């Protein structure tokens, strides 16, 4: 199983302006199967030029090589509800990384670097590209699930909650160093651009499977909101980042999020309309996100005390955690 390769989906049928129904059908079949089994797949011909992604990655690497005093010029503003800007993980947490958090380009929360030149502008353009890609992927997933036209778009119409992170993972100094602890994403859909250094791993059937970096490919995974809405039909995959040995690692992650005030519960299309019991009790998204934030600010002493989406699971004999 360690040799498993996650499927790659060609999105060109959704961009080429031609009526390529066979290409779209093949893409949706692959996405549906991947999301039903483990929640992860890769995409090519996604509309984001490789030269732009390469430029963004190089600028990010340059930034993270700056001394701390230069990077700290982008520290988050005091008193904002969510931090945006440069953050370095303290030594007393297991994760070994530093990052820049960014909200939509017009957000007053953003604190973006002025150096290296063009980095701020590139981050803003990248955010817009991924927001558009999120809208496309949302519409494809809507079709994969057989939901009414534009159902997910109308449900998740507010893009002000989207989030992008430029990540730098420090090289491992010990055998068990973890760049980012195991977790599922709390978003609707997530996108990851990796450099050429491995580290991203997905848990499947009890094993950690690496997602091998390949130029031009973007990693996609459905997340907790989609898992709950579909009553576990689509899975929010458990994943982590293992710190690379002898090399640092850079990546970008974009989280296509749901507004905090939205109510989340299994949809009737996946419960009463097909005779299935709901596997989750409903909740307001901002309440769940607050619990996830507490995981980060006050890490539990025991891994089993970390709050995950299973916090809202209805305990029945047929319900189980998907890892």
**Per-residue pLDDT of the chain in tens (323 residues, 90 and over written 9):** 455 789 999 999 998 777 889 999 999 999 999 999 999 999 999 999 999 999 999 999 999 999 999 999 999 987 666 789 999 876 555 667 899 999 999 999 999 999 999 999 999 999 999 999 999 999 999 999 999 999 999 999 999 999 999 999 988 876 556 767 888 998 999 999 999 998 899 999 889 999 999 999 999 999 999 999 999 999 999 999 888 788 889 999 999 999 999 999 999 999 999 999 999 999 999 999 988 888 777 777 777 778 889 999 998 764 444 43
Q: What is the pLDDT of residue 3?
A: 57
DSSP character string of 249-304: EEEEEEEEPPPTT-EE---GGGTGGGT---SB--EEHHHHHHHHHHHHHS--SSGG
Phi, psi of 81 (to 5 degrees): -65, -30
Judge contact between 172 and 225, C-beta under 8 A.
no
CA distance 75 to 85: 5
The predicted pLDDT at position 323 comes to 36
Backbone angles phi, psi at 90, to 5 degrees: -70, 160
Supply the pLDDT for residue 322. Answer: 41
For residue 180, give the 3-state DSSP assignment.
Answer: strand
> CB of 239 within 8 A of CB of 183?
yes
Beta carbons of 31 and 144 less than 8 angstroms apart: yes
What tokens were used for 146? 């057989």
- As beta bridge partners, residue 95 has 178
Identify the residue whose tokens are 């590139």.
122
Cβ atoms of 133 and 189 closer than 8 Å: no
Residue 319 pLDDT: 45
Ordered by where they begin, the domains of the chain are 8-263 (2.60.120.330)
What φ, ψ does residue 256 adopt, rounded to 5°? -85, 100
User: Which pLDDT value is given to residue 136?
Assistant: 97
For residue 240, the cross-strand partners are 201
User: What is the residue-wise DSSP string for 206-234?
Assistant: TEEEE----TT-EEEEE-HHHHHHTTTSS
Q: Strand pairing of 8-10 and 40-44?
A: parallel
What is the pLDDT, as a whole number, of residue 278? 96
């Amino acid at each position: 199983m360690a040799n498993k390769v996650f499927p790659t989906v060609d999105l060109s049928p959704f961009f080429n302006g031609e009526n390529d129904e066979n290409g779209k059908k093949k893409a949706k079949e692959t996405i549906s199967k991947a999301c039903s089994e483990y929640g992860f797949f890769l995409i090519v011909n996604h509309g984001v030029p490789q030269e732009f992604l390469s430029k963004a990655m190089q600028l990010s690497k340059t930034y993270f090589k700056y001394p701390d005093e230069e990077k700290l010029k982008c520290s988050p503003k005091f008193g904002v509800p969510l931090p945006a800007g440069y953050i370095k993980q303290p030594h007393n947490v297991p994760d070994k990384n530093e990052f820049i958090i960014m909200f939509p380009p017009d957000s007053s929360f953003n604190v973006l670097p002025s150096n290296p030149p063009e980095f701020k502008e590139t981050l803003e353009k990248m955010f817009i590209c991924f927001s558009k890609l999120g809208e496309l992927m949302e519409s494809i997933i809507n079709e994969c699930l057989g939901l009414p036209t534009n159902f997910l778009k109308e449900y998740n119409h507010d893009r002000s909650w989207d989030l992008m992170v430029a990540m730098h993972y420090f090289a491992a100094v010990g055998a068990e160093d973890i760049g980012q602890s195991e977790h599922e994403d709390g978003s609707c859909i997530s996108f990851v651009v990796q450099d050429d250094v491995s580290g991203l791993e997905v848990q499947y059937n009890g094993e950690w499977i690496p997602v091998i970096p390949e130029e031009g490919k973007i990693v996609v995974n459905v997340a907790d909101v989609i898992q709950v809405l579909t009553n576990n039909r689509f899975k929010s995959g458990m994943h982590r980042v293992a710190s690379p040995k002898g090399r640092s690692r850079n990546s970008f992650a974009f989280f296509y999020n749901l507004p905090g005030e939205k109510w989340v519960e299994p949809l009737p299309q996946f419960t009463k309309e097909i005779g299935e019991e709901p596997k989750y009790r409903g909740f307001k998204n901002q309440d769940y996100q607050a619990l996830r934030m507490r995981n980060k600010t006050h890490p539990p002493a025991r891994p089993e005390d970390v709050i995950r989406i299973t916090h809202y699971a209805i305990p029945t004999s047929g319900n189980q955690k998907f890892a």
